[in-house]
Amino acid sequence: MVLKSFIEVHPDSHFPIQNLPYGVFKRQPDSEPRPGVAIGDYVLDLSVVASAGLFDGPFLRNSHCFNQPNLNNFLELGRPAWKEARTTLQKLLSAAEPILRDNAILREKALVPTSEVQMLLPIAIGDYSDFFASKHHAYNCGVMFRGPDNAINPNWFHIPIAYHGRASSIVISGTDIIRPSGQGHPAGNSLPYFGPSRKLDFELEMATVVGPGNELGKPVDVNEAANHIFGLVLMNDWSARDIQAWEYVPLGPFLGKSFGTTLSPWIVTLDALEQFALDAPQQNPSPLPYLAEKKSKNYDIALQASIVPAGQKDAHVVTRSNLRHLYWTITQQLAHQTINGCNLRPGDLLGTGTISGPEPDSYGCLLELSWNGQKPLSLGGTTRTFLEDGDEVIFTGYCKVKFLGIFSFSLLCDFIPLPTIDCLTRLQGDGYNVGFGTCSGKILPSLP
């Protein structure tokens, strides 16, 4: 039996009752931020649900976590509270439950059309790290700058490489990004170039939202890491490739990354994604014991990046990738972040790095797609090697469940080999999406 909501949800919606991603919104520009979950074309106001006493389980009954301007207090409660909330909300929104369905006054207060709200960053982000976890991306970048014989440094296969980002410049989807200025490589014997970036790029990524943290000096076991992960968001870690290329030796990215990072507004929980888990790629050589997982898994999340060129209305798809291509899993990333005793806190963010697939149309950034400017992309009568002022970049991501007769393919996964499932899910059929919505930003000219 497929769970159905009393709220009509379009088959193409990213937000059926099986998803219920968390975000933070305002009803009016001057109103207080409040947590909510997405259901179809509505946001369910969790502060209203809590005030009505409908969270009556042991973990949430006396909690004020949904009367906060962000989700950090809820994240800190951990998986038992998250599961309790999910069970309660799916019951309240189900077609068979009358409490909300038949109470017009409560329903009017609790359900707000998405078109009438302003979405905000859902978490207070204390710290942010960005990994380099895609083998295809690492190889392509290495070939461009070092050649195929030395494309990936030997340490990459033993350690999830990352750098610390800048949490203060993380913004919500829809926020404009001002083209950064900085230094670039000098030409010949001249001084370094200084001015607006000439190689502004997007990076198709996802990011882990940390739930309960760990004490300083006490690493998280890789096989327990999932209990410290609340969910995932789409992320665009904008990059100024020319600034980055001049500055990154010897200490890595700095000004070429820290000018802006865009997040999608909805956090999709690991519980909602669990039915889309699949085996991660085999790692060779085997990781060191602290990174060796009993079950190493990724998630089958289809990702897409589109560009609306300046002066045009239509979006042009430039890449299609998938989270399944990650070499280092999100749990390995979290465990590695803490192995030296580093303490994580609720709301911390761990980016995956650019997610590229094996084929040219699955590369996750313009650096790869245009091969560092050598192969311009055709976009509806214009071309791009890197982003120009006025360009808008839009990411989407979703998982899809389809049905064969009365059986859901997701229910058959335990009985049919994965290659067969991959083939079957390409058939036509009714089903639902578990999606992330969109993550977008438009490039504005650099400041004078």
**Residue 279 pairs with which residues in a beta bridge?**
297
Task: Please tell me the distance from the alpha carbon of residue 178 to that of residue 446, in angstroms, as a whole number.
Answer: 6
Please tell me the distance from the alpha carbon of residue 12 to that of residue 432, in angstroms, as a whole number.
Answer: 7
Parallel, antiparallel or unpaired: strands 349-351 and 204-210: antiparallel
Residue 48 tokens, joined: 């209203």
Burial (CB count <10 Å: 0-12, 13-18, 19+), residue 51: middle
Radius of gyration over every alpha carbon of the chain, rounded to an integer in angstroms: 22
Among residues 136, 137, 228, 336, the one annotated as catalytic is 137
| Pairing assessment for the beta strands 261-263 and 170-172 based on DSSP bridges | parallel
d(CA 321, CA 364): 7
Return the exposure string of 146-171: e unless at least 16 CB atoms fall within 10 Å of the residue's CB, then b.
eeeeebeeeebbebbbbbebbbebbb
Give the span between the Cα atoms of 175 and 177, in whole angstroms. 7
**137 annotated active-site:** yes
Amino acid at site 386: F
Q: Are 211 and 65 in contact (CB under 8 A)?
A: no
| DSSP for residue 134 | B
Torsion over CA: 20, 23, 29, 31 (sign): positive
Structure tokens, 333: 């990333």
- Residues belonging to the active site: 137
